[in-house]
Structure 1
């Protein structure tokens, strides 16, 4: 009798209350626990697909859920099995109490319980037990009060949030995601029956702990629901055969860096809606992880993919993993880290030069040795290409032409253009020098993607956004439409990297000093993307080149989009489309402020030996050559005449002593060319 005494006592208390008014007053004075339980913070994509969730206190999963997000068949089965008079009783079901008491008296033990769903909610809210009669009395009182202050759908909602499903799972949504890997809006009869059965003995019936117990409990539920005609015979037979998985599914944890940023920025929010596309995000993270395979253990990767027509980021990868324990330091969001952008700012320099009337894509510019005080920039391969077109200089990513343009523009103009494009940039020394054009400034991957989004939008600032909420862009420009198109057209002329898909992207690669960062940024008519590869601690990655490492991944990233083949736009009507010979005279050749020191184009030039060369002495003398200039020529060594009145452009100088020699050649008009060599 002791085993069912709490039920008898509760029923007796309910029946022999001192009077209706006193009883109502007793219920009204009930102190209720909070009916607003904490739920997991969720991050969802633009289509409301769960990207990531965070546990509540004690590491429990308790995900928010609305009644219309749960399969109606499950709700019907739950009420039919647990509390068939739920919508008619006032918190305690007298008929259920009488039935349970009668069965206990006949069988000498508790056969069925009398707890209503409301009483179960009362117990869950207070996290109280069920065995002692004091606990049962408290549940009765709280249940009665809940029915006075809440609607039935609100009480049912609390059950769906708080019901235990084993381990650290609370609520039907957490259980459905963990046991079935799906939201609970569409459940099979077998899945619904298991979810009905689990809260009665959540630890004993966990399928990942005791698969047989879970199947047995599910069958008991199905048999009773079959008796009450809640499920059909066909449904039950199908459900009996449906397998139960012994493995729990991992909760989604996509876009962890952006999710953390959203939560940190608005800690009061329990729901963060992002502009990402869940399927695309999964593919991007898989791509990032696969491309790190075979790389050194400290190398990481970051990627951003956005729609530049709206500025919305649709895929965001902060690193190749997400851990504070691995060598890649995956917890660091490398899309925000300030790094040297290498050559990726060169397109902006050329665009500014086009806008200022300093150059045109067809303008000829001289790639030759130059020095600006102690600063003497060199091309990546150490070679000089002489006079070539500006568009070719950009495609070849030559350093000297872009520094010549930057000197004429002024580094401050370049920094101001970055600011107008919305790009945060940090100067190591606090002052902008010519090296800014070659990556001597700190920028982030997100910043560079935003810069290229602006180029794709015709030179208009296009702020990137990742929150799925209305935004507005102020129409600010950092380049004219024609200059932005000209730069884009030049970059679109680059061939795809070896092995990449044959798509037309306007793209630029970059490698920072010391091989610390490898970049690739590009866009088509709708999408813009960026890839960074390097070490988060900033140490070099030997052999890392943007063109070899990052560019193929850039094409793969854009290729993940099904409708990626969006053509680049046509030139604006004001764009000047001319060849070099058709340009106005001042635009045919670039002449900066240093041009007053340059020799005329027809002045003599030392053809051989080249400046800085090291030659072995021979018994026949030193062969020398001169081009341009007017004969006769005079040849000097260390300022002393060696040969005079020479009418040929190729001759031989007498044998000279070992060491450094400064050779000079002077033409008929007194114009000279020089070269310093070493003879061994």
Structure 2
């Protein structure tokens, strides 16, 4: 050891030079050889190419390959570097042969480079091919061999070799020239691509075909002679044609690609949750419907499909195959749009959960005026009273608005915050009661996310010991990663209980669909699907969302610029697409009933409220809080004569002849509309002549509405039009007396309407019937100038 030390001390200058050269050699190779921008590539969960965006420098250059296909590897090694696995980065024999030929030719005609040297040359970007540069390449190639395994060097070459035009790398080349993944290249295709980096200009469509064909076939002969392929494979490979023109890269989910670029950044290869077959099929569905919709000048539509169990997005169509004029690049699946009626199920679930309504509870469907707002049903008709679940299934606006007012606007707004609807970000006062009929905005992504979460709540409740998960309302999953974490189990519900959600989904299965029966032709009764449509004001937005135990699918149809079109409705425009989507999805069982979050109670057959002692009863499962719901207010005991034709009391009938009966009685205004569509409804019998009545007043206003404001307009001849006052009376043929501001203006019998022209200002309308019953209403009159 001492001798070594003395020797180094005596020759320290040469030693230092050696150390310096070693350090220079060690650090001569950059940590990252290639810093070129890469294309962003998205793949399906099966690994199939969904789409890509060109790199920032205008080149099609995919991120580095994970592996080099065996066929291409054999072809490139036999063509470029058959001693690849045995040399240290350069091949002295090849270099000497190349040097000899170049000297004889007086110019560079052969390079003699190994694949490792070619990787170095590609990384050094256009350096002039001189002997000095060749020496540098050899030095760096040996350093690369020391740092990387042979397979990694092959991957670097295959990922960065030029293949003609702006095509860089085997991955892009296999798609551009043969329309397949690299792993699916044939021997002939692999041989064609193996010869291209050496002469990339040969691939120019329609030219150099003979030269390219000879190079390819020479290589095929070589690998055949080396016994890599058999005779039959060789003959079949020779028979394959050369590529005639580049294939366009697949673009099956262009808007989904842009969404991922925003969230994940550029230049990455992303394996997504998209199901390749579902995506392509739904693209075809959208294209087919687009060809019909555009005849009504409706040009845009979007579809999202999610798995309930995993929250995986398995299909994402951001727009139709329209043109630039009609904003084909806008991702309508992410755009905020008026919600129409698609929030109504959430209100229904909320009221069920709180015990403030039961599925069959009658809710009022009558002309309504609340603080200056007068909602209308799509049909502009009224049912008087309708079961809550039927009001949801038929998407009636008036019952929804009245239910929201009863439940509490601020209360409901606070509850739906938990669903993280990004675009629904204003205060309750900003939206008002229109919140439930399209006064708010949301997007297809968030709405599908919400309905997937509530469906999953029921599934999780049934699959656990009647428990919930703390992280149920998560964002959808778009990348193929480990399973999503739903958090820990808890006995406490996160928003709504499983029972109220189950009953909501059950109501959404009703076959008499929203806004009429137009969608029945699209409904396959063999598939149990909970679905909801929505149409925004002015026919600008058409929605349809469907839910099964396994899947949630959402559809939006409209124009990206917000233009409304006649006949653009959720039922007519979006629902047909929705059911075509479900037709290509696997069938799904219906949700299991969450018995632990439901209770069986007696309800009134007629009213749907909890049954009183005088109601006809039936059993029904309701949410746990439903047992505290209101007892039926519409049944009353009445006294009839022995023939049950008249009501009587002790003032006019012997007590021994009085029969007591339970009678279903709605308030006058509800009754007025209800009996027109419910033939079985029986109005109260009249009192027998001479009987003293202690009834509650049996009248109500139809018009004017509460706090009514009426603008009197003038006709063509300059005459001010009349306002028609109208009431309903439960007693047929009753006479009523009309007053304005205590001034008698007339009387009516049976049909109670009175046409008047009051002066501008506030007036008190009073109506008194012949029995002394009285009703009043304020009317504000304005006139046009």
- Which residue is 1:217 aligned to? 215
1:588 corresponds to which of 632, 638, 641:
632
- Displacement of 1:411 after TM fit? 0.7
Deviation at 1:27, TM superposition (A): 8.4
Q: What is the rounded CA distance, in whole Å, between the counterparts of 1:195 and 1:240 in structure 2?
A: 15
Deviations 1:219-252 (A, max 9, x none): 1222333344443333221111012231222223
1:559 and 2:583 matched: yes
Answer yes or no: is the 8 Å Cα contact 1:489–1:506 preserved in 2.
Answer: yes
Matches for 1:221-240 after TM superposition, within 5 Å: 221-240=219-238
Given the superposition, is the C-alpha separation of residues 341 and 575 from structure 1 closer, same or farther in structure 2, using an over 3 Å criterion?
Answer: farther
Alignment of 1:178-217 (within 5 A): 178-206=176-204, 209-217=207-215
Q: Which moved more, 1:293-302 or 1:169-178?
A: 293-302
**Deviations 1:362-394, CA, capped at 9 Å, x for gaps:** 111221112212122222222221122222222
2:485 aligned residue: 472
Offset at residue 54 of structure 1 (A): 3.1
Structure 1: gaps of 5 or more residues:
1-19, 613-621
For structure 2, the 5+ residue unaligned runs are: 1-16, 459-467, 514-518, 613-629, 636-665, 672-683, 685-696, 711-723, 760-764, 780-785
Change (3 A) 1:477 1:389: same
For residues 317 and 51 of structure 1, the distance between their equivalents in structure 2, rounded to whole angstroms, comes to 12
The CA deviation at 1:342 is 0.9
1:306 pairs with 2:306: yes
What's 2:619 paired with?
A: none
> Tell me, what secondary structure is at the counterpart of 1:128?
coil
- Per-residue deviation, residues 277-319 of structure 1 (Å, max 9, x unmatched): 1221222233223322242667311211111222222111222
Distance 1:236 1:158 in 2: 28
CA distance in 2, matches of 1:608, 1:432: 27
Is the 2:68–2:155 Cα contact (8 Å) retained in structure 1?
Answer: no
1:457 to 2:456 alignment: yes
What TM-score does the superposition give when structure 1 sets the normalisation length? 0.82
Give yes or no for contact 1:520–1:531 (8 Å, CA) kept in 2: yes
- Asked if the contact 1:60–1:169 (Cα under 8 Å) also holds between the matched residues in 2, the reply is yes
After superposition, the Cα gap between the structure-2 partners of 1:156 and 1:610, relative to the gap in structure 1 and judged at 3 Å, is closer
Structure 1 residue 426: deviation in Å? 2.6
Structure 1 residues 134 and 254, CA gap change in structure 2 (3 angstroms): same
- Aligned equivalent of 1:533: 557
1:137 has 2:150 as partner:
no
CA 1:56–1:606: 2 relative to 1, 3 Å: closer
Question: Contact 2:668–2:700 (CA<8 Å) still a contact in 1?
Answer: no
SS at match of 1:373: coil
1:462-611 equivalences under 5 Å are: 462-463=473-474, 464-469=476-481, 470-474=483-487, 477-495=494-512, 497-502=519-524, 503-561=527-585, 563-570=586-593, 572-573=595-596, 574-576=598-600, 580-581=604-605, 583-585=610-612, 586-588=630-632, 603-605=697-699
CA shift for structure 1 position 589: 5.3
**Residue in structure 1 matched with residue 28 of structure 2 by the alignment:** 31
Q: CA deviation at 1:636?
A: 4.3
State the alpha-carbon separation in 2 of the partners of residues 657 and 187 from structure 1. Answer: 85
Written as runs of structure 1 = structure 2, the 5 A alignment for 1:93-108 is 93-100=91-98
Distance 1:455 1:28, change over 3 A: closer
Measured in 2, the distance between the counterparts of 1:154 and 1:319 equals 40
CA contact 1:509–1:546 (8 Å) conserved in 2: yes
Aligned-partner Cα distance in 1 for 2:161–2:634 = 76
Q: 1:670 aligns with which of 766, 773, 778?
A: 773
CA distance in 1, matches of 2:497, 2:247: 52
Match for residue 397 of structure 1?
A: 395
CA distance in 1, matches of 2:755, 2:369: 30
> Distance in 2 between the 1:92 and 1:77 partners?
19
Change (3 A) 1:54 1:546: same
Q: Once structures 1 and 2 are overlaid, which stretch shifts more, 199-208 or 77-86?
A: 199-208
Q: Measure, in 2, the Cα distance between the counterparts of 1:26 and 1:440.
A: 70
1:43 is displaced (CA, Å) by 2.2
Q: 1:531 is paired with a residue of what secondary structure?
A: strand
The answer as to whether partners of 2:366 and 2:669 remain within 8 angstroms in 1 is no
Q: 1:634 touches 1:643 (CA, 8 Å); kept in 2?
A: yes
Say what the alpha-carbon RMSD is for the aligned residues. 3.9
Question: Structure 2 matches for 1:201-280, cutoff 5 A?
Answer: 201-206=199-204, 209-267=207-265, 270-280=268-278
CA gap 1:129/1:212 in 2 versus in 1, 3 angstroms: farther
Secondary structure at the aligned position of 2:371 is classed as coil
Quote the Cα distance in structure 2 between the aligned partners of 1:538 and 1:479: 34
Q: Which residue of 1 aligns with 2:317?
A: 317
272-281 vs 98-107, greater mean Cα deviation: 98-107
Q: Give the Cα separation in 1 of the matches to 2:352 and 2:703.
A: 37
User: Which residues in structure 2 correspond to 1:48-447 (within 5 Å)?
Assistant: 48-66=47-65, 69-100=67-98, 113-128=111-126, 131-206=129-204, 209-267=207-265, 270-293=268-291, 294-295=293-294, 299-321=299-321, 326-424=324-422, 425-427=424-426, 431-447=430-446
**Residue 47 (structure 1) shift:** 2.9
What is the SS of the residue equivalent to 1:264?
Answer: helix
- In 1, Cα distance between equivalents of 2:405 and 2:565: 31
Determine the C-alpha separation between the residues in 2 that align with 1:543 and 1:148: 70
Q: Distance in 1 between matches of 2:735 and 2:346?
A: 45
Other structure's SS at 1:327 match: helix
Deviation at 1:516, TM superposition (A): 1.7
Instruction: Tell me if structure 1 keeps the 8 A contact 2:117–2:141.
Output: yes
Structure 1 distance, partners of 2:736, 2:154, is 104
Contact 2:766–2:774 (Cα < 8 Å) also in 1:
no
> 1:628: which partner in 2?
730
Cα 1:29/1:175, change in 2 over 3 Å? same
- Rounded Cα–Cα distance in structure 2 between residues aligned with 1:668 and 1:178: 90
Normalization by structure 2: what TM-score? 0.72
3-state SS of 2:522 partner = coil
Give the corresponding residue for 2:615: none
SS in structure 2 opposite 1:521?
Answer: strand
- 225-234 or 537-546: bigger deviation: 225-234
CA contact (8 A) 1:194 1:214 kept: yes
**1:604-655 Cα deviation digits (max 9, x unpaired):** 458999999xxxxxxxxx9x997523886444476638569xxxx74899xx
Cα distance in 1 between the residues matched to 2:164 and 2:669: 85
